[in-house]
Every structure is written in structure tokens, then in C-alpha cells.
Amino acid sequence: MIYIIGAGPAGLATGLFLLNKGYEVKIFEKNEKIRSTACGEGCDAASLSILPFNSLPYIARKVHGVKCVYENMHFYARMDGVVLDRQKWLEGMVSEFRTRGGEIEFGAKIKKIDDKYIYVNDRKIEYEICIGADGCCSVAKEYFGNKYEYKVGCQYEIEFDAEDKNFLEIYFDRKFSNYYAWIFPKKESANVGVIGKFSQLDKFLEAMKIKERIIKKEAGMIPCSFAPRISDKKVALIGDAAAITNPFSLGGISPAIRAAKILADNIENLENYGREIKKHPMRNPILLKGRKVLERINDKEIEELFRCVNGKDISEIKYGDFISLLKRPRLALKAYYIAQALLHSLKWGW
Ligand SMILES: Cc1cc2nc3c(=O)[nH]c(=O)nc-3n(C[C@H](O)[C@H](O)[C@H](O)COP(=O)(O)OP(=O)(O)OC[C@H]3O[C@@H](n4cnc5c(N)ncnc54)[C@H](O)[C@@H]3O)c2cc1C
């Protein structure tokens, strides 16, 4: 029996891949039922299609990619993307998991794991393989003593029609966030959030003149650095518990799905899983570099960069578009790092 801690995207994806390979799997979930954590629900379609599960019925909206906005300027980064109805998507995966013979125990809070036992509520269970998929506040990660960098995100789901329903909109104005703010359109609502505090999110709503009813309010932490160690012979971490997120886009769903496939393929050799993840393109240092540049760039610089690419698609952008930056080599270099991290994210998972 393989034990998985946590029924989020990472735990359920891993569970489904393992059942497909004929393993017996049991998931422990601390909540009494599936409860989606804070999430903009945006994701690339290519990663979703890897899952051994039909996610189509759970897509709230299909989008053509990302629209990056600064004041009245914008540029596009195209990819086949979706905004999920994540709660229903997770519930759908649970029911598929059970139909295929997987076991799931709700109300099962893991207190810790050591090299022999998983401590669940008031009992302990001896294990051969344990997968820690218990999210950003993982107890399983303590097994390896890992510490990560985090960003805090706040979000409202709002009952309103986003202006551009064909894109995941990302706003770079430093008045609202020192990273980015977002509007992700769903069916009859939109997820509106910021990397930052609720006070910044409220400023963003005011500036965007969004006054409609708030349906849901949530906040959470997103790991945004790479983990030193995520597996040994018996234990492996995945998803936020392993800081397997895209540290540039801060998306966690796509990386979790891609990592779940690698984990299931290496379940007989978990140390190899750790090695495979380390050399995977989703661990490309350009993503960390892009994040560090983006968190330090100021409004004036952002404005200058947007002026070079306003109205364009990132795939059409040429070096010549940045001719005005010839006398600003440091800013040109920043533009290069951000563009590379963005292009890499479009290819390897938002
Ligand atoms: C505001 C915000 C917006 C975001 N927007 C996006 C986005 O648009 N797109 C995207 O791809 N990503 C987004 N993310 C990131 C994404 O939500 C996470 O990366 C993703 O949920 C990670 O999945 P996971 O399965 O690793 O963890 P989780 O989704 O956190 O699931 C972990 C599960 O483990 C359970 N658990 C925790 N502790 C225990 C325990 N001790 N015992 C038993 N069970 C336990 C939890 O109850 C939960 O069900 C966002 C994050 C935030 C905070």
C-alpha cells in the first residue's frame, strides 16, 4: 500500500497515476471533505491533458493565454489555458480515484512522519512508501527539514463579468502589488487577487472600478524557491509540500501534475524521482532569476518596457523593439530575464 498525505491537486494526481500503474493507494486528508485551497484556478491546458482524468467538465473558461497589463498598455503571451472550477475538479478526481479502487480517509490529520511510521490522529501506521502532498504548510516536509521562500496571495471571487474573458489578465502596477495582481475570468464570476495584502487588493478593486458582490474571500502562501531535498528511499514530497511550483508565474497546479507523472514513473526508485525533478525544465534557474528581477523592478522601468511591446504578442517581439533601451543596458537585461522566464513558463507549465 502506498500512502499519500493530502487530497489537493498534487495528492490526487499522484494517486490517479499510481492506480493506473496497478498500485494500491490510500490518501489521508485532514478535512472532513474536499476543500479547495486559495487559488486563481488558472492553468495551462497542456499540463491538464497529461492527467489520467478527463478535466474538461470542470473547466469554467478556456483562455488564449496571458494578457500582461500596465496602466493603458498591454502585451500578450499566448498559450491554451483554462480557468478551472477547482472545487468540482478535485471532487471529480476523488470520485474517479474511488471508482478505480483508491481509498481515501477524510478527517485524517497527519501529525508527523518518521522513517517508520505515519502518525495519523491518535494512531500510527507503518509504511513502506509515503508521499507528502500536504500543501504549503506541510508537516511531511519536516521529514527532510526543508525550508522554502513564500509569497502571500489574497483573492476575492467576484460576481462580475471580466472585461476580457479570453485571457488571464496580469497587472504589474506597483500601486497594487510588488509582484502582480490578477483577474481570471470564470463563467459568471472572476477571481481577482494580488500577491500582497487585502488592503492592496481593495485598492486594486477601486482602481479597476469593480464594485460587484464578493462571493468568496481567501488567502494563502505560495512556495517560490526550490527545495534542497524531496525524496529518499521511502518518502517523497510533491506539490507545494516540495515547493514544486513555478517560482516565476507562481502557478502550482501544472507543476504538481507534471511532477505527479514523474513520481509515479519512479515509484520503485524514489531517489530517482528527486533527481528527475532537479534536472527537469520546470527547475530551470531562469524562473528564479525572472522572479527576482520582477520583484525588484519599479513602475518607471515597467512603463518603459511596456512602451516597447505595447499591443504585441510576445512571440512577435524582436530585439529591435527594445532599441530605445540601448542606453539602458541594465533595464534591457531585466527585460531579457523576464521575457525568458515568461517564455519558459508558457512552454513548461504555468
Ligand atoms: C491566492 C493564491 C492564488 C493561486 N492561484 C493559482 C493559479 O491561478 N494557478 C495555479 O496553478 N496555482 C495557483 N496557486 C497555487 C496553488 O493553489 C497551489 O500551488 C496548489 O494548490 C498546490 O497543490 P497541492 O496539492 O500541493 O497543495 P494543496 O492544494 O494545499 O492541497 C494540500 C492538501 O493536503 C491537506 N493537508 C494539509 N495538511 C495535512 C495534514 N497534516 N494531514 C492530512 N492532510 C493535510 C489539505 O487539507 C489539502 O487538501 C495560488 C495560490 C494562492 C495562495
pLDDT digit of tens for each residue in the chain (350 aa)?
Answer: 999 999 999 999 999 999 999 999 999 999 999 999 999 999 999 999 999 999 999 999 999 999 999 999 999 999 999 999 999 999 999 999 999 999 999 999 999 999 999 999 999 999 999 999 999 999 999 999 999 999 999 999 999 887 788 999 999 999 999 999 999 999 999 999 999 999 999 999 999 999 999 999 999 999 999 999 999 999 999 999 999 999 999 999 999 999 999 999 999 999 999 999 999 999 999 999 999 999 999 999 999 999 999 999 988 888 888 888 888 989 999 999 999 999 999 988 88
Residue 37 CA to ligand 1 center (angstroms) comes to: 5
Indicate if the alpha-carbon torsion angle 180, 76, 61, 187 is positive or negative.
positive
For a ligand 1 pocket test, name from 5, 33, 34, 37 the mutation site with the most ligand atoms within 8 angstroms of its C-beta. Answer: 37
Q: What pTM, to 2 d.p., does this model score?
A: 0.96
Residue 136 CA to ligand 1 center (angstroms) comes to: 7
pLDDT at 78: 94
CB neighbour class for 225 (10 Å; exposed up to 12, middle 13-18, buried from 19):
middle
pLDDT at 349: 85
Cα(192)–Cα(185) distance, integer angstroms: 9
User: Which residues of the chain does CATH 3.50.50.60 include?
Assistant: 2-39+86-147+227-283
Per CATH, the number for 2-39+86-147+227-283 is 3.50.50.60
pLDDT at 348: 86
Residue 223 CA to ligand 1 center (angstroms) comes to: 10
Residue 40 CA to ligand 1 center (angstroms) comes to: 11
Beta carbon of 266 within 6 Å of any ligand 1 atom: no
Question: Residue 157: phi, psi to the nearest 5?
Answer: -95, 125
Atom of ligand 1 nearest to the CA of 155: 1
Q: Whose CA is nearest to atom 39 of ligand 1?
A: 134
Q: Whose CA is nearest to atom 2 of ligand 1?
A: 39
Q: Which residues contact 283 (CB under 8 A, 6 or more apart)?
A: 226, 277
pLDDT at 297: 96
Residue type at 28 in one-letter notation: F
Paired strand residues for 59: 84
